[in-house]
Amino acid sequence: MSSYPVSNRELSWIEFNARVLSEALNHSTPLMERLNFLSIVSSNFDEFFMIRVASLKTAIRQKEHSFDATGIDPEILLSDISDRVRQIMDQQYRCFTAELLPALAKEGIEIVAPPKWNASEKHYLNGYFMDKVFPLITPLRIESDAFPSVGNLQIHCGFELETESGAKNWAVAQVPRSANRFVALPKPAAGQPSSQRYALLDDIIMSFAPSLFPGHKVLGSLAFKVIRDADSGVDEETPGDFLMAMEEVLAGRQNSTPICLLASGNEPSILHVLQKGLGLGDIDTYNLNGPINLGSFYEFIMNEEQLQKPALQKAHLVNKPWSPISLSEFNASSIWDEIDRGDKLIHVPYESFDQIRDFIDQAADDPSVLAIKMTLYRTSGDSPIVRALIRAARNRKQVAVIVELKARFDEERNIGWASTLEQAGAIVTYGVARLKVHAKAALVIRRTKNGSIRKYLHLSTGNYNEKTARLYSDLSILTANEDLCNEASLFFNMLTGYSTIQSFNLLAVAPFDLKKRLIMLIEREVQRSSSESPGLIMAKMNALADPGIIEALYNASRAGVRILLNVRGVCTLLPGVPGISETIEVRSVLGRYLEHSRMLYLRNGGMEEMYLSSADWLPRNLERRVELMFPVLDEKLLKICKNILQTYFNATEHAYRMCPDGKWEPVTPKPGEKPISAQEMLYKRVKRLKEAAEMPQEQLKVRRRFRTE
């Protein structure tokens, strides 16, 4: 148990999901964006149960007496989790059923429950069921000694049946994944309102279930979903093919230990049978007041075909689009010349990911490029980055790629890319034994015109994934700094060969020295702080729960260092506690983009330093993953990063403040002040950079003089 105050990580994560829900409850948010936040709440809970609650249940089975630094008993924690999750889910579904469904109906899309189907719709759906659904369904009986296979996260229907003799039976049927969940009902007659009505496939199956069970009466039905343990990984001590072992883990995930049961429908007898067959209790069962998988509603309605319907006016349903901006400095014919002129900072999604893709594309096609070395953690299904690497390998360049096969939920995709890269002639390694390679780096080795070797480096806080780069806020640098490039070269040798652990001057590498470097930087800020010039630490990350880092921050606060933390998700540090963390402030910013960048600023007695990193301040990142932290060496870029950080702490919209008791409250503008959205301000900053770059120099000088005066 910790000797200083901290909150529980699991409960802190749930409060993050409560903040996401707050964005959905905000009536000033466009309708489809509210639905998106509701869908995020559902998908977040799916992963939370698969990973965090699965780990907690393992601790209960192993009879552990304490789960974390708070000293809480695992069974008490499971009860607390269950209670708080129910509260959030109740709010989520009240919003969906009482607010969003009626609002969607006004916009021309109605999701119609069976009691509201009219006679002609019932007749149509009966024919639809028999023709297109019935052949796809495989009913499975539930026997007292054998529960049928129910895959992870798949929607199923459960049935209570009665034979002609009065005997009770139970059965399940999976909702076909190959069929559209949303079935369009017949168009209304001429002169009637033109809204499009839809029925859910799970409702259709339950409504026409008697056809599935001849000789039985259907007494009741409900839709349900099982969430299973996805926390297990491959045993890396086992000899044999690592790829094959990972494939076995993926296959086993569909039928791993059940963790919780989500159900829609008030049928106690069916729930009891499902609980018994799955080995789950009331604490593990969540009965939803609405349909399962809200994420599918957002995906369906945002389908381009739906948005183009005359009944829908897209503009007011979604946020005003912000198109990613390509700065003119990246439009030169040679990206190498541009990087040689100075380091480049790229801030996605405000700036275009194409700038990063062009770096790899030009490296693949440039005859002067000799080698490309790169880490791949998460990529898209049709990744242009991987295609460029394949092309480079076929162009007879040396391509060395560290593919992380243990990137959870992307394992199957990464296995496929690894095999394809190997077939193209690339050197592929599968991370490091027992450590996930979470660092994001790409090194290009190029021969210059005079025959010398020049290195170019990309370092990032985010993945090489052009799809998430439109949704995640991340920072990266492109540099030809010789010292950084040389250290990166040694870093890649550490990952692929037998190089001894290196101690770098510029890079910090987890699990070797990153945590130690962070604590050293925090302690140095204490040493260089005085009453006349107090120290200042500003940091941004996804999560903060490492005990050693928290203790160092508390010590710095007691010494008078001002500490501003922007933590998107989990934060077990408690700010503003008298005598412990009085100078610490914790904020959390949400919005249209997922905040993903990790940043660290230190005043350092006036010699300011800025670092970017792939690592959150969690034990797993600092002790059980390969991560990179790298400095922003260019003074101009350091100032830009500092401005970005300060923008988050100035936000009064989509922003939350953590209280000393661990609860969160919204940050609101002072009376008479206009709300400040951090993400909007950051997009406007990039737009101004674009405009300034394209403005004639004389006009730019006039504008600068006008602003000064």
Catalytic site residues? 438
Q: Are 545 and 11 in contact (CB under 8 A)?
A: no
Sign of CA dihedral 611, 613, 615, 616: positive
Distances in Å between the Cα of 342 and the Cα atoms of 409, 442, 636 are: 38, 18, 10
* Exposure class string for 153-182: b at 16+ Cβ within 10 A, else e: bebbbbbbbeeeeeeebbbbbbbbeeeebb
The 3-state DSSP class for residue 608 equals: coil
Q: Are 613 and 627 in contact (CB under 8 A)?
A: yes
Query: How far apart are the C-alpha atoms of 127 and 131, rounded to whole Å?
Result: 6
Structure tokens at 631: 């400095």
Residue whose token pair is 């995906």: 299
Structure tokens at 205: 């199956």
Q: How many CB atoms lie within 10 A of CB 649?
A: 17
Nearest partner of 442 among 405, 394, 406, 388, judged by Cα: 388
155-163 β-sheet, strand order: 140-142, 168-174, 155-163, 216-228, 258-264, 285-287
DSSP string, 559-596: TT-EEEEEESS-B-B-TT-TTTSTTEEEEEE-SSSEE-
Query: How far apart are the C-alpha atoms of 170 and 345, rounded to whole Å?
Result: 60
Residue 207's contacts (CB-CB under 8 Å, 6 or more residues apart) are: 114, 125, 129
Distances in Å between the Cα of 48 and the Cα atoms of 40, 282, 290 are: 12, 18, 21
Please report how many Cα atoms fall inside a 13 Å half-sphere around the Cα of residue 681, on the Cβ side: 19
Residue 83's contacts (CB-CB under 8 Å, 6 or more residues apart) are: none
Pairing mode, strands 155-163 and 536-541: unpaired
User: Which alpha helices (H) appear in 595-696, and where do they start and end?
Assistant: 619-623, 635-650, 678-694
Q: How many residues does the chain have?
A: 709
Structure tokens at 171: 């059965």
Please return the burial class of 612, using the count of CB atoms within 10 Å of its CB with bins 0-12, 13-18 and 19+.
buried
Q: Residue 658: enclosing H or E segment and its boundaries?
A: strand 655-658
Cis geometry, peptide bond prior to residue 511 (ω within 30 degrees of 0):
yes
Nearest partner of 108 among 30, 194, 189, judged by Cα: 194
The 3-state DSSP class for residue 101 equals: helix
Structure tokens at 365: 């096609």
513 phi, psi to nearest 5 deg: -140, 5
Query: How far apart are the C-alpha atoms of 678 and 599, rounded to whole Å?
Result: 15
